[in-house]
Amino acid sequence: MPEREFFKRYGSGEAFRSRAPGRVNLIGEHTDYNGGFVLPAAVDRDIRIAFRPSEDRTVELHSLDFNETARFELSKLERGAMPAWARYPMGVAAVLQAEGFALRGLRGVVKGDVPLGAGLSSSAAFEAASALAFCRAGEIELPRERLARICQRAENEFVGANCGIMDQYASLLGRRACALLIDCETLSHRTYPFNETLARIVVLDTRVKRTLVGSAYNQRRSECEQALAILRRHAPELKSYHDLGVAMFKAFAHDLPEPLVRRARHVVTENGRVKEAVKALQSWNMVTFGALMDASHDSLKNDFEVSCRELDILVNLAREVRGVYGSRMTGAGFGGCTVTLVEPKHVEEFIRTVSSGYRAQTGLEAGVHVFTPSEGASVESIRP
Ligand code: GLA
């Protein structure tokens, strides 16, 4: 935890700690930037910043994970010589200022346990924790929804990843013991209890570096836009995929060339699956929920083409194990993690069987996380 190092470096006296969790997406993949629906949960891993506002306009952050200190001036935010991790708080500061907020400097120590680069939204978590720290230091009160959009803008404009809104929303608005349904067109959201006595959320990390993810992500975004532009010739009222149902899609799909027809089909059917999954969750029907997850993976693999060999191996192994409701890749794809819902009494067997199968087929050791849906970001006072 960063508190101890913070007080050692900066002395005792009033201070604060912000924390923001990573997320796992249960279902609704590559739908957020298409005005669709997603169902993530915040997880019990987070990024924490112990900090104290300063009288100047200097931000000094020490990362315990990178054992490195970054220092920047709020009046001169340049990415230039910054360590890569410092771009997240810097980006958030830049957007807050661009949106007219007066910030104060701060001194802080950062530490996290969200796995980095695994598709579990460590970057959104760092953005959210930074946003809460800058707001507390500058005595700025903003609704969580607005903060999420500020963090997304930081990621889009400052870090350079063209992501949707899911990760930042999940980190800032997630609730303990709940999944979060987000309508990414209207940005309305609602929580639904997730019953861990029925199913545990097991996340397996392929440990494959996600090299393609940036360029392929942008390519998929643009393919979805191109498909929508063609569909709009028939239905000019469509603003996004939000109101594009399966029936309407089928009526016009003949106009779409390959691969656009498959990209659009994934988004349309995935939106339907999210709505069905919410119903299943409400009636504690984990069997149906799991079947929807399986269908989601198949669609991401065949229609959207964002899976990879290692993800498919993990998913296929999982589906053979007793007590598994469903398994799919989670996050952007091309590596990263799978999410599997497993009956609690079979979790250990599941981990053992899939890990050894994965080792046998790939020579790789899968990362294993059993996550609990957790409370979204928060900030509080701390004492030495
Ligand atoms: C990444 C992005 C999200 C979302 C997912 C795919 O995690 O950051 O906005 O698009 O990919 O569902």
Query: Closest ligand 1 atom, CA of 119?
Result: 7
Q: Which domains does the chain have, with CATH numbers?
A: 3-193+374-382 (3.30.230.10)
What pLDDT score does 209 carry?
77
pLDDT tens digits in sequence order for the chain, 384 residues long: 899 999 999 999 999 999 999 999 999 999 999 999 999 999 999 999 999 999 999 999 999 999 999 999 999 988 777 899 999 999 999 999 999 999 999 999 999 999 988 889 999 999 999 999 999 999 999 999 999 999 999 999 988 888 999 999 999 999 999 999 999 999 999 999 999 999 999 999 999 977 666 789 999 999 999 999 999 999 999 999 999 999 999 999 999 999 999 999 999 999 999 999 999 999 999 999 999 999 999 999 999 999 999 999 999 999 999 999 999 999 999 999 999 999 999 999 999 999 999 999 999 999 999 999 999 999 999 999
Which of the residues 32, 65, 113, 167 is marked catalytic? 167
| DSSP bridge partners of 48 | 19, 111
Which residues are within 8 A (CB) of 109 and not within 5 positions of it... i.e. 6 or more apart?
2, 3, 5, 6, 9, 49, 50, 51, 61, 62, 63, 64
Could you tell me if the CB of 167 is within 6 A of ligand 1?
yes
Residue with tokens 């498919």: 312
* Distance from Cα 261 to the centre of ligand 1, integer Å: 21
CA angle 233, 187, 193 (to 5 degrees): 125
- Write out the two tokens for 130: 């930074």
Could you tell me if the CB of 329 is within 6 A of ligand 1?
no
Query: Closest ligand 1 atom, CA of 124?
Result: 8
User: Is 167 noted as a catalytic residue in this protein?
Assistant: yes
Could you tell me if the CB of 155 is within 6 A of ligand 1?
no
* Distance from Cα 96 to the centre of ligand 1, integer Å: 22
What pLDDT score does 78 carry?
81
If phi > 0 it is left, if psi is from -120 to 50 it is alpha, else beta; for residue 239 that is alpha
What pLDDT score does 211 carry?
67
* Distance from Cα 119 to the centre of ligand 1, integer Å: 8
Query: Cα 337 vs. chain centroid, distance in angstroms?
Result: 12
Could you tell me if the CB of 169 is within 6 A of ligand 1?
no
- Whether 61 and 110 have beta carbons less than 8 Å apart is answered as yes
Could you tell me if the CB of 7 is within 6 A of ligand 1?
no
Residue nearest to atom 11 of ligand 1 (CA): 332
* Distance from Cα 223 to the centre of ligand 1, integer Å: 15
